[in-house]
Amino acid sequence: MTVVKSSENDLAARLLSRLLRRDQRTFMPNDGLLFVIGSFVAASAAKVERFPRPGESMTANAFALEPGGKGLNLAVACRRLGTQVDGIVPIGDDMLSGLAASALDRAGLPGEMLRRLPGPTGAGIGFIDAQGENCLAVFPGANGRLSAEDVREKRSAIARADITMAQFEVGDAPIIAAFEIARDVGRATLLNPSPLRPLDPRLLALTTILVVNANEAADLASDLAGVGRPSFDAELTDAGLGEIQALAEAIMARGPAIVVVTLGRGGAVFCRSGQPPFHQPSFSVVAVDTLGAGDAFAAGLAVSLAEGQSPENAMAFASACGAILASTWGVFDAFPDRAAVEALLRAHR
């Protein structure tokens, strides 16, 4: 195990404090600027009664083909909430790449975010069952060819951003390059390491905010010596919260100032070192399609923290974003705007 130097932990804590100490009298919603290390996937999804067994063919009740990818989702979701967004989104030179330019235009994102690379574009296939649960597979395509050099060409935009966000549909090298630029100028970083792979210690050391779902947290727990698998029951007990905090402390010793664990119907838990964990219950909605709900949550969290909201308000806002998306079929057009999120929050006060 690699434990980062205390100075690196201190830097992450200072960056977090900077976000949380913004003057709410002058810093208004939509004032933040986010930079997204994006990914683009031509995303297809089929709604089925149950997941198919090996070798089985099934009839789908609905089908969608839309622009997607975790990186694009993060950018679109943040922009839909009214925040200014810049970033880099890799695409190939094939037929599927044609979906990307129109997607950015529809979302109000700058076309300059696109980075065309030789070879195929990313693509994904997902299934959603009658309970709204999902499983999916993603072919990286151009996302896997994004380089550190590509990202460094965006140095000035990264340096201006309040938070630089990344996900794991691109490689470690471009993320590390972007996070180094952000941290060198005293800016915060947010990592949603999905689809999960072994975490490079250098990347954890550069991460201010780590957002993981229940399965990702369980996999991380098994990789960390002395940390058992946390409890992820919908009715989260004090013992379960303690186990999640223990996992978070082990991760935070390696760099992050915040670890957020999302638990689906169990809500989400916000952890900071040396402080009690904060549990945000989920909003009661009928799950129709949970694809993209984690991206909506991460986007809502980043937008709120960039605006200087408290951890409690940021978690409620993020959870509302995820709940709204999960209650709607599709992803790209289903990301909520700020009015929809605030309406759900008012209804549950």
pLDDT tens digits, residue range 48-63? 999 999 999 999 999 9
What's the pTM value of the predicted model, to 2 decimals?
A: 0.87
Asked whether the beta carbons of 271 and 264 are under 8 A apart, the reply is no
pLDDT at 24: 46
Report DSSP letters for 74-137, one per residue.
HHHHHHHTT-EEEEEEEE-SSGGGHHHHHHHHHHT--GGGEEE-SSPPEEEEEEE-TTS-EEEE
pLDDT band at 26 (very low <50, low <70, confident <90, very high): very low
Distance CA 337, CA 195 (A): 26
Amino acid at 333: D
Q: What is the tens place of the pLDDT at every residue in 170-180?
A: 999 999 999 99
Q: Which residues neighbour 310 within 8 Å (Cβ) at sequence distance 6 or greater?
A: 20
pLDDT over 50 (residue 23): no
Q: What is the tens place of the pLDDT at every residue in 65-78?
A: 889 999 999 999 99
CA atoms lying within 13 Å on the CB side of residue 6: 0
User: Helices (H) and strands (E) in the chain — how many of each?
Assistant: 12, 13
Find, among 119, 107, 45, 98, the residue nearest to 71 by Cα. 107
Find, among 303, 289, 241, 315, the residue nearest to 19 by Cα. 303
pLDDT at 209: 97
Find, among 300, 307, 312, 308, the residue nearest to 338 by Cα. 300
The β-bridge partners of 192 are 167
Q: Radius of gyration over alpha carbons of the chain, in Å?
A: 19
Strand ordering across the sheet containing 62-68: 62-68, 41-47, 122-128, 134-139
pLDDT at 217: 75
Tokens of 155: 């140095």
Asked whether the beta carbons of 255 and 226 are under 8 A apart, the reply is no
pLDDT band at 64 (very low <50, low <70, confident <90, very high): confident
